[in-house]
Structure formats: C-alpha cells, structure tokens
Amino acid sequence: MALVKRHAYEAQFKLQAISYAVVNGNTAVAKEFKINESIVRKWRKKENELTQVKKTKQSFRGNKARWPQLEDQLEQCIIEQRTAGRSVSTVTIRLKAITIAQDMKIEHFQGGPSWCFHFMKRRHLSIRARTTVAQQLPADYKEKLAIFHTYCSNKITDKKIQPNHITNMDEVPLTFDIPVNHTVEKKGTNTVSIRTTGHEKSAFTVVLGCHGNGQKLPPMVIFKRKTLPKEKFPARVILKANQKGWMDEEKMREWLREVYVKRLDVFFHASPSLLICDSMRAHLTATVKNEVKQMNSELAIIPGGLTKELQPLGIGVNRAFKVKLRAVWERWMTDSKHTITKTGRQRLASYATICEWIVDAWAKVSALTVVRAFAKASIIAEQPPGNETDSDNDEREPGMSDDEIAQLFNSDTEDEDFDGFVGEG
C-alpha cells in the first residue's frame, strides 16, 4: 500500500478557508481549496486559536499544557497582580507555580525556564519593557583606554603586583522602593503601569570590593540615617550611616581602614597593591590619596564615561550581584506573610533582613565571575578555558535555544538592574 503524503497548511491559509466556509459552507470550501471536508470542520473549531498565532504557523502539535488547572490558576494570579499595577517577573511566575503545584499535590513539578517559556507562549504573555538610551563613549575613548591600560600594566609589572592584590571597588545605589521597568503582561496591552509605595527617595548604598583572583571583600552598607537602627545585623557586613546614604570622603576613609585592610597578606602592608576606582569625588581627595599611599597601594582612577569598559564590578559583577539580590527579594515577596501599615501599604523589609539578603547575594557571586570581569576589563590576562562551571549562569534545560533563553530572561530579573526593594501595598 502506497504511503499517503501529509500536507501542512499555514494558519493564514486555514483562516482563508474558514472565511470561505462561513459564506459558502464546508462542502464548497473543500472543493474550492481541494481539501477534505473533515479538515475544514476541525479548522473551524480552532478559529480563535488560529487568529492568535503567526500566519506561517502550520501545526498545534506539542507544547500542550501538562497541568492545565495549575496554569489556569497561575494566569489568574498574574492578571490579579497586573490589575493592581504590580510588576511580575519570570522568577515570580516560577516561584508562584511551584507553590501552586505543592498546594495541588503535583509531584515532580520543577517550574524551570523551559516550562515558564512555554507557559507564557501558551497564555500569550510577553515581557514588556521601556526603551532606554545607552551611555555614549567619549570621542577620545580609545586613547583614554590605552593610557589607563598602560598605567595599570606598568604598575603591576614594576611592583610585581599579584592578582590577589589588584582590587576594584564600586558603590551600588539602591532604594527601598523603585518601579521596575519590566513586567509580564498580556500581548497587545497598550498601557503597562506598575504601582509603587511612595518610598522612591529612601536610598542607601552598598559598597562592593573584589580582587583579580576572584576573592571578595565584605560589603559595606551606608544607610540614609543619622544613626544605625538597633537591630541584630549579620556579622559579615560593615554598617555605616550618614544623612545622604552615599559615599563621601569620611566613608571612603572608613572603607579603606575597615574593609580594604581585610584583604589577604596585608600585614604591615608588605605587599604592593593596586586599587581601581571610578572618578567619583570622594575617591580623589588628597586625604584619601595619601591614605591609599600609606597602605603601599597605587590608586588607578578610571576616566569619566569609561566605567562600562574598565570597571570590573560594572562590567560583570554588579549585575550578577543584583540578579541574586532580586531573586531572594522576589522569593520573600512571594512566600512571606506581610504586615500592612496604617495607611494600607505593605510594610517594608527590616534593615537587618535587607543586610542578610545583601550578604547572601554577594556570597553567591562566583569567583569565576569576578576573574572574568577583570579579564574583560583587560586588567589581568585572559584566563585559559577550563572545565569550571559558572554558578551565575541561568539554568538551561534541554531543547531550549539561545533565542528562547534570551527572550525568557530579558526581564527585570536579568537584564534590568535591580535598584531597590519594592514593598507593594
């Protein structure tokens, strides 16, 4: 018996056939389009689905929901969150899905990136974002890059500075409440709004430092207060307070004395070192320069406008830190029971809780991520390829393409900088 060749028809062709059948009937469209009448009846049952897919789509095989009731409940939760103006990320979706699966006693549900991608595709959800203007490099940036690299290279060679004594420090500004720029939303929505709590001006600063060999210094947190709150803070963080919640000359000197000195092999400052900072005014005062010199350190100042090319923390470390910070915060938002203030707003996390998140997120940034950032900034030599795995990479499931991964994680959890802890009321 000869094999019958199957024909694949695009969605656009099927919709044309359905339109013809509505006017002339199924039998007439079968003769006109030279197709089986039973196929026309099947197409007409799927008319709503055909209108929502690409015109070139040929089949609905695969990607069917294994747990449709779970996805129905999850979609309703997303709609409720968006109706209230709250941001929804892919991390939030996955955490909520796992919670629902546990409530429904569904076993072996992982809620991984691949499942989330296909869930959003089935439910016609996409990641919406505002456009931003990228920072422009100075006209003479190539010359400035060359001068900076030459300066660092000469200092490292002449003084025989080892990677564990090449340090980069940077300030990461955060706020207790800031509207994120990305959220999961239904496709075709014209207006995408995100609700805030009114704490956009409650700012503080996290000061990070790391070495060329991948080691990290304890984080220093500067709160915008006259005095530190009376809470039990984790031991692995240096706490400071001032009226601006920002780095100034005094706090820079305190960072040098309390954090920078904690790097390895610095007894009596016997080993020469190199400290790389941006051109912030607090890094450039005569007092700070003198204190750095007394520590047997050379100060390398990154030219203005070139931090994204020369600042290891800005190139690859700060982002990894913020990704992990966002993840732990979203888990807290999803899993915790929150109290409400008298004005009806959700109460923010305590200072101590935020410091615990900062310490944990900073500890989870891998040494390989730090080393790669220094190499990308051309501060140290490029590391030879090895078998190490980067713990900062997102988990990848079999069968997912790079484009799918990029689309799935082009969200507030990955591409957008995490700038604050949003308490949603």
Question: Among 130-139, 202-211, 216-225, 392-401, which stretch is predicted with the lowest mean pLDDT?
Answer: 392-401
Decide if 323 contacts 414 (C-beta within 8 A): yes
Report the C-alpha gap between 388 and 368 in whole angstroms.
8
pLDDT band at 84 (very low <50, low <70, confident <90, very high): low
What sign for the dihedral angle of Cα 253, 308, 371, 150? negative
Closest by CA to 91, choosing from 394, 346, 421, is: 394
**What confidence tens digit (pLDDT) does each residue in 240-259 have?**
999 888 899 999 999 999 99
Decide if 169 contacts 216 (C-beta within 8 A): no
pLDDT band at 131 (very low <50, low <70, confident <90, very high): very low
pLDDT above 60 for 273: yes
Decide if 415 contacts 130 (C-beta within 8 A): no
Report the C-alpha gap between 119 and 113 in whole angstroms.
10
**Region 110-129 average pLDDT:** 86
Q: Which amino acid is at 19?
A: S
Residue that wins the pLDDT comparison between 309 and 329: 309
Residue that wins the pLDDT comparison between 350 and 374: 374
Residue 404 tokens read as 């799918």
Cα–Cα–Cα angle for 333, 323, 370, nearest 5°?
Answer: 150
Report the C-alpha gap between 314 and 343 in whole angstroms.
38
66 sits in which H/E element: none
Domains in the chain and their CATH numbers? Answer: 1-61 (1.10.10), 68-123 (1.10.10.60), 141-179+200-335+348-377 (3.30.420.10)
Residue 139 tokens read as 């006209």
**Region 390-403 average pLDDT:** 41
pLDDT band at 278 (very low <50, low <70, confident <90, very high): very high
**What confidence tens digit (pLDDT) does each residue in 374-395 have?**
999 999 986 544 444 444 444 3
